[in-house]
Chain A
Amino acid sequence: MRRSWLVFAALLAGACAVGQPAVPLNAFAAGDLAQVEAFAAQQVADGPAENQALVHNVLAQCELLQGRVDEARRNFEVAGRIMGSWSTGGGEATAAILGSESSKTYKGDPYEQAMNAYYLALCFFWKGEPDNARAACKRGMLADAEVGDEKFQADNALLFWMAGRFSIMLGSDDADGYFGEAATAHAFAIQHGARGVPNNDVLANPRRGNLVLVLECGMAPEKYAEGGQGELARFRPRPHPAVAARASIDGRDLGVASLLLDVDYQARTLGGTEMEGIRKGKAVFKTASTVAGVVLLDQASRSKGDAARTQAIAGGALLLAGLLTSTSADVRHWPTLPSTVHVLTADVAPGDHQLTIDFLDARGRPLPQFRQHTLVTVPASGEAWHLARSLPPVAPRAPSVP
């Protein structure tokens, strides 16, 4: 009977914990987007409900990188609705506090919510709705403002710059305000350890260009658990050779793209969370109750009679409580995000052009395995945006929609 209770208790402790989906990152890095998409689609259909936002984001990203903008937008919207809702059931909160934190619905960290907004903005722009694209940017800015450390609450230059560009398209008079915020955010981020250079060409001339290249490099950091009981959530970078990008059009060099967003920095500067304090408290309780339980059981083994029985019951209960207390941090994260996002703008004659993108290593040398050639069409009025990622050109490439 005692064994039954132990088995049941173990089941209860582990039953509701939801782990990081095993996204085939090697396939993603190798450019096999179809395989990653199939995995994400299967997880959307059959995976845990708590991970829906995460797998919808991965699915949408694969669709976007393969040029299927409408499908991507729908899935980013589904993920964005889950990530943006502050509503949480009492049962879910109780389970996450008393049991495993990863039993809760994944809503992403602020930097992940901001990245969902960034992709959604691109999708809405390509749909021909710059107003909704700008709305997505604003939502991303609000998400960025949710980080625990107040001083890092408005340092996403990319979203401000994009909002400014969309404002110009809408004929709004607030574009310069957004560009000013973008410059301030960038200067702050650089000052506090983000990668990039202070004199950013795109932010110095934010209105320039009818061709906009959005170039994503590397892989986003990995979230992992640290501390004696795994109670601390931390980030570590995922090494990748591509750290910058340059482009040429019809053989004319356009130069090196400006780094507007350091995703690793955004993740690192998330700040402390209240849940981290709770997990630390649980870790102390777990250690204390486990030690006390062992001590009491040891004493019980040396005692006799009623005292021994009382010590055994109390020790067993404490040991069980200690063993069942889950202190591990929720380390679910969006693993297919890039490490950095760069932007290159250029004034190009309307019409079709042959675009070549080279991703560069840390020494500025082109990485031939990631070279991409594509045809871009620049409209007579308005502008064309093109998205590219530092992946081998295995799958059909990302969209380029005027």
Chain B
Amino acid sequence: MSIRFAAVALLSLVTACAGTRDTRVAPDAPDSVTGTGLQSQDIRTMATDMAAKIKASGVLAPARDGERASFFIYELRNDSSDTIDKEIILTKLRTNLFEAFGRQIKILDRSPQANDLVDAERRMKERGQVSGTNDRQVAGSDFVLKGTIKSRDRQAGKLKSAYYLVTFELTDLVTGELCWTGDYEMKTESEKSVINR
């Protein structure tokens, strides 16, 4: 009797208050902790897609004389209804572009920190405080890559859906021509549990 009681009690407690887990998963695995925003697999897929599409477009291919095209990533503007770490998306995209093109293109770092570092280094070289000379100009850019994140949210009763559209554009900085554009779409649907409504 006491064994049966102990078994039933143990089983009940185990099912009533289940334990926790720590599991390593692939970055492409769907998030089990979901929300309606962009998730890790979206960021990875988006970066891979965009890098491949830009390369396939040929816009950034070296000129006939071998001159490499240069560009910098300007901004990703979030017009959606979800706060997003834009830096994680842009950093991943920049890495994928670098991996896709290698040294065929010049990717410029135009972040304020990089500008400050370049300025400081050039000043020290001018003053002879450090070795080396400023024998080259700071690189100008042929193109700029920028993007927007937009969302359309629908909510009614216990149901909610969110559609996300991430668009990237490559603009020629001499002519202003929009040379390339590509997008990534994602949609989620959620149903609210009875305990939260």
Contacts and interface: CB of A to CB of B under 8 A. Distances in A.
A142 B81 contact: yes
A135 B83 contact: yes
A368 interface: no
Contacts of B193: 86, 88, 92-93
B195 A132 contact: no
Contacts of B2: 1
A145 B196 contact: no
A4 interface: yes
Given A4-B5, A135-B84, A104 B196 contact: yes
B79 A131 contact: yes
Interface in B33-77: 33-36, 77
Contacts of B16: 12, 15-16, 95, 99
Contacts of A107: 196
Contacts of A85: 33-35
Contacts of A99: 16
Contacts of A11: 13
Contacts of A101: 195
Contact of A93 (B35, B155, B195): B195
B137 interface: no
A329 to B, nearest CB: 12
A87 interface: yes
A72 B13 CA distance: 37
Given A135-B84, A138-B81, A86 B196 contact: yes
A274 B160 CA distance: 17
Nearest to A7: B9
Contacts of B12: 8, 12
Interface in B1-42: 1-2, 5, 9, 12-13, 15-18, 20, 33-36
Nearest to B190: A86
A144 B110 CA distance: 40
A369 interface: no
A86 B194 contact: no
A81 B85 CA distance: 13
B155 A145 contact: yes
Given A15-B17, A16-B17, A88 B195 contact: yes
A97 B193 CA distance: 11
A135 B80 CA distance: 6
Contacts of A131: 77-79
Nearest to B9: A8
A191 interface: no
Contacts of A145: 155
Nearest to B153: A142
B1 A142 contact: no
A86 B160 contact: yes
A56 B153 CA distance: 26
Contact of A80 (B18, B36, B83, B192): B83
B191 interface: yes
Given A81-B35, A139-B83, A1 B1 contact: yes
Interface in A2-36: 4-5, 8, 11-12, 15-16
A273 interface: yes
Contacts of A134: 79
A-side binding surface: helix, strand, loop or mixed? helix
Contact of A275 (B9, B18, B197): B197
Contact of A132 (B13, B78, B191): B78
B84 A132 contact: yes
Contacts of A278: 194
Contact of A135 (B35, B81, B191, B195): B81
B82 interface: yes
Contacts of B83: 77, 80, 120, 124, 132, 135-136, 139
Contacts of A91: 15, 18
A49 B155 contact: no
A270 to B, nearest CB: 11
A388 interface: no
A91 B16 CA distance: 8
B194 A97 contact: yes
A189 interface: no
A103 to B, nearest CB: 8
A168 B108 CA distance: 30
A375 interface: no
Counting chain B CB atoms within 10 Å of each CB, which of A87, A101, A124 scores highest? A87
B101 to A, nearest CB: 28
Contacts of A95: 16
Nearest to B156: A145
A97 B190 contact: no
B44 to A, nearest CB: 19
5 contacts: A1-B2, A8-B5, A85-B34, A97-B195, A101-B195
Interface of B: 1-2, 5, 9, 12-13, 15-18, 20, 33-36, 77-84, 86, 153, 155, 160, 190-197
Given A91-B18, A135-B78, 20 more contacts: A11-B13, A12-B16, A15-B16, A15-B17, A86-B35, A86-B190, A87-B190, A88-B192, A88-B195, A95-B16, A104-B195, A129-B78, A139-B83, A142-B153, A142-B155, A148-B197, A172-B79, A275-B196, A275-B197, A278-B194
Interface of A: 1, 4-5, 8, 11-12, 15-16, 49, 77, 80-81, 84-88, 91-93, 95-97, 99, 101, 104, 107, 120, 124, 129, 131-132, 134-136, 138-139, 141-142, 145-146, 148, 170, 172, 273-275, 278
